[in-house]
Amino acid sequence: MVLILVGLWGFVNNVNVPSLADKAPWESLGEGIMVLAGLLLIVASFLFGDSWNDLGLAGGANLHWIRRQVSNGTRWLVLGSCALMHVLLLVAYFCGGQGVLDWGFGKLIGQLGLRRSPHVLLWFPMLSLDITLWWVLRYDNLRKAVPTFGLACVVGVAFLLLLTSIMDSHCSPNERLWQRWDTDTFLRGLLGRYILWGTIQQLLFLSFLNTRFRKGISNPMASALMTGLCFGLIHAPVWSLAWITFFGGTVWAWCFQRAPNLFLAGLVHGILGTLLGLLLSDPWFPMRVGPFSL
């Protein structure tokens, strides 16, 4: 975590050291330090023997779980749902539905540096679906994880709506932030960007960092608070965003400790982050990270 902050605050932008701006690739150095920090967290999980269950990932556990569900038919429900979604993607593609696939996945494909060709619009959704269903989404703890993260999502949405209402009434009487709501923008932001990046952030902070805190600190609330503090610090110096991500990170860490399910954590993060950016991003919560507004 310290290395992430050092890379983010000390080297990412060469204007921080103007006298050396033309003498060293400070931006690349800062990015390299942050990548190194992420790799150290991942390596630490292997060194300390963290399991797929600890990290909230499915791995091969899904296959074993599905085999155990023969008696109640769940195995066929999962397999049938997966096959049906593949068929629907093929039908959408060959029946001229590339525009729909581009609407849902085009922005994400572009952010990953891929060319938004018709073929990519077919295999990328299928690959994303398979990875999500078999290696990210855990089925064995859904009964406990869905109510836990669902409650966190409902409370978070209610809090953001209440906060928007307060801002409307007291802080910005001449600007109605409610008018910023746009369903198309929300769904595009959620599906095309925030589910993936929210899950990646949760992988770093919940799966790896929170697991380290949880195994090193006996009090679960203390380890959740430490995770939330680190998550908030990443968003400084936008202090409004830092405070709200501190609370969000703490709640997500606590939910994750009760029912480690990375996909649901990423989904809730995506919903709340997209909603925050749509209703309150400017001027109250600029969606920027670090001292150089990344």
Domain regions of the chain by residue span: 2-47, 60-140, 141-294
Q: What is the dihedral of CA 14, 15, 16, 19, to 10 degrees?
A: 90
Distances (CA, A) of 6 to 30, 37, 233, 247: 8, 10, 12, 23
DSSP 11: I
Sign of the torsion angle spanned by Cα atoms 232, 233, 238, 239: positive
256: its two tokens: 């994750």
Sign of the torsion angle spanned by Cα atoms 149, 154, 160, 163: negative
What string of pLDDT tens digits covers the 294 residues of the chain?
778 777 777 655 444 445 545 545 666 677 778 788 888 877 887 788 887 777 887 765 555 555 555 455 556 666 777 788 788 878 877 777 777 777 777 777 776 777 777 778 778 888 877 777 777 788 778 888 999 999 999 999 999 988 888 887 777 666 666 677 788 888 877 876 677 788 888 888 898 889 889 888 889 899 999 999 999 988 877 788 889 999 999 999 999 999 998 889 999 999 999 888 888 877 777 776 665 555
Q: CA–CA separation, 1 vs 209, rounded Å?
A: 8
Please state the pTM of the whole predicted model.
Answer: 0.79
Distances (CA, A) of 139 to 65, 81, 116: 7, 13, 32
Q: CA–CA separation, 90 vs 94, rounded Å?
A: 6
SS (H, E, C) 47-74: HCCCCHHHHCCCCCHHHHHHHCCCCCCH
- Cα–Cα nearest to 52, from 43, 44, 62, 39: 62
Q: CA–CA separation, 222 vs 239, rounded Å?
A: 22
- Cα–Cα nearest to 261, from 111, 165, 91, 136: 136
